[in-house]
């Protein structure tokens, strides 16, 4: 297949995404409006034979201080046929185009999963003192075509994130945790939760925890819980304006793109979460909880409600987003994987993020600049 790449309209881009079963929420046109500090462009690949649009990419451009050169970033994209035998014919025109646009370096995150580990496998790994990371475990599923994609990219001159696979050199998480919903009943999904999760869901029900959806006007209450979480977990919170913008622009593109949930007890909000929806893929995006009321298990109740809602929407996957690949109980991120493993889903490893230095000198300078921040 011979291909032509050109800039397309947001409408064309969105229509293509809507024709697919799913795509990353970071590749919908409105994501550019969330990331206001970047300039953006919508790219389209056309089949020369039919003139049909066969792939899209949202590119975010970040300008280098003082000079008109840009880092071009395609988060969890582009949305193309990654297993095409002629991957070169997709990637080379993109590089040429981005270079013309003044990019000195390109970063992308192929939405390709290499391995999956089932919850039971991970539990056994946690109990085994010789196992320190997910990678030390035999995967339950391996996608051989993903290794071919990685080989092709290396041959083209792409460089993989420098962390050697721990997933933290990447901007987006390399390891995520997903609950598959396709061809399963809700009863099966619930049965697959571990005992603690099932007990906690029951406990929340007994205590009268209710889970409700919120709207734009509730984002201030979301922010209150999120800032409590930030202090407790020692991270820098995003400002309220970020979530207000996210809500406004994503739901303007599709009224069901972003949702907000609260778990409350006796009229007090104890936990909150944002949910993102693109086709059959649903993400638990941001989570927050108060320091009080933990004994009534609001977070478990909220996840179960969100999962059921995702199921009702026809989702094939409920995605709990990033995890660390560490199975070491002393690791500060261990609690995250432990919580998510309780859902009985799967850990998935993506190909990670890849860089192509169009200008090696500027690319190196950026690396040094980023490492000092």
Instruction: Determine contact, residues 56/278, Cβ cutoff 8 Å.
Output: no
Cα gap 230→89, rounded to integer Å? 44
pLDDT at residue 169, rounded to an integer: 46
Instruction: Determine contact, residues 196/338, Cβ cutoff 8 Å.
Output: no
Instruction: Determine contact, residues 223/269, Cβ cutoff 8 Å.
Output: no
Tokens linked to 173: 């998480």
pLDDT at residue 154, rounded to an integer: 98
Dihedral in degrees, nearest 10, Cα atoms 296, 299, 305, 309: 170
For residue 333, whether the previous peptide bond is cis, meaning omega lies within 30 degrees of 0, is no
pLDDT at residue 168, rounded to an integer: 35
Instruction: Determine contact, residues 20/79, Cβ cutoff 8 Å.
Output: yes
Per-residue pLDDT of the chain (373 residues; tens, 9 = 90+): 899 999 999 999 999 999 999 999 999 999 999 999 999 999 999 999 999 999 999 999 999 888 889 999 999 999 999 999 999 999 999 999 999 999 999 999 999 999 999 999 999 999 999 999 999 999 999 999 999 999 999 999 999 975 433 333 458 999 999 999 999 999 999 999 999 999 999 999 999 999 999 999 999 999 999 999 999 999 999 999 999 999 999 999 999 999 999 999 999 999 999 999 999 999 999 999 999 999 999 999 999 999 999 999 999 999 999 999 999 999 988 999 999 999 999 999 999 999 999 998 888 877 776 666 5
Cα gap 98→104, rounded to integer Å? 8
Cα gap 337→320, rounded to integer Å? 10
Q: Could you give the C-alpha distances from 141 to 115, 118, 146, 207, in angstroms and in order?
A: 6, 9, 12, 39
Q: For residue 148, count other CB atoms closer than 10 A to its CB.
A: 14
The reported pTM is 0.94
Cα gap 289→186, rounded to integer Å? 26
Tokens linked to 25: 């929420």
pLDDT at residue 373, rounded to an integer: 56
């Amino acid at each position: 297949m011979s291909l032509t790449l050109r800039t397309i309209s947001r409408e064309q881009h969105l229509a293509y995404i809507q024709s697919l079963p799913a795509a990353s929420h970071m590749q919908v046109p409105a994501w550019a409006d969330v990331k206001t500090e970047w300039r953006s462009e919508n790219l389209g690949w056309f089949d020369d034979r039919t003139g049909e649009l066969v792939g899209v990419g949202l590119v975010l451009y970040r300008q280098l201080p003082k000079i008109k050169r840009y880092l071009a970033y395609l988060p969890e994209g582009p949305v193309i046929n990654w297993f095409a035998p002629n991957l070169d014919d997709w990637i080379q025109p993109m590089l040429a185009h981005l270079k013309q646009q003044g990019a000195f370096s390109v970063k992308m995150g192929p939405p390709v999963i290499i391995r999956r580990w089932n919850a039971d496998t991970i539990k056994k790994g946690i109990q085994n003192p010789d196992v320190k990371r997910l990678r030390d475990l035999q995967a339950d599923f391996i996608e051989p075509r993903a290794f071919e994609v990685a080989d092709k990219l290396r041959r083209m001159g792409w460089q993989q994130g420098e962390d050697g696979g721990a997933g933290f050199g990447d901007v987006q998480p390399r390891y995520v945790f997903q609950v598959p919903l396709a061809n399963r009943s809700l009863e099966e999904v619930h049965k697959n939760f571990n005992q603690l999760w099932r007990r906690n869901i029951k406990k929340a029900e007994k205590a009268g925890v209710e889970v409700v959806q919120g709207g734009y006007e509730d984002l201030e209450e979301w922010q209150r819980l999120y800032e409590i979480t930030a202090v407790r977990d020692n991270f820098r919170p995003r400002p309220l304006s970020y979530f207000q913008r996210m809500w406004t622009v994503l739901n303007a593109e599709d009224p069901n793109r972003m949702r907000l949930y609260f778990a409350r007890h006796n009229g007090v909000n104890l936990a909150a979460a944002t949910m993102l929806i693109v086709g059959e893929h649903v993400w638990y995006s941001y989570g927050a909880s108060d320091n009080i009321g933990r004994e009534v298990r609001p977070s478990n109740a909220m996840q179960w409600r969100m999962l059921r809602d995702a199921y009702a929407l026809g989702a094939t996957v409920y995605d709990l987003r990033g995890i660390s690949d560490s199975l070491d109980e002393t690791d500060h991120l261990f609690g995250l994987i432990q919580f998510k493993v309780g859902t009985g889903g799967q850990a998935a490893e993506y190909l990670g993020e890849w860089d192509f230095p169009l200008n090696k000198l500027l690319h190196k300078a950026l690396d040094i600049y980023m490492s000092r921040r």
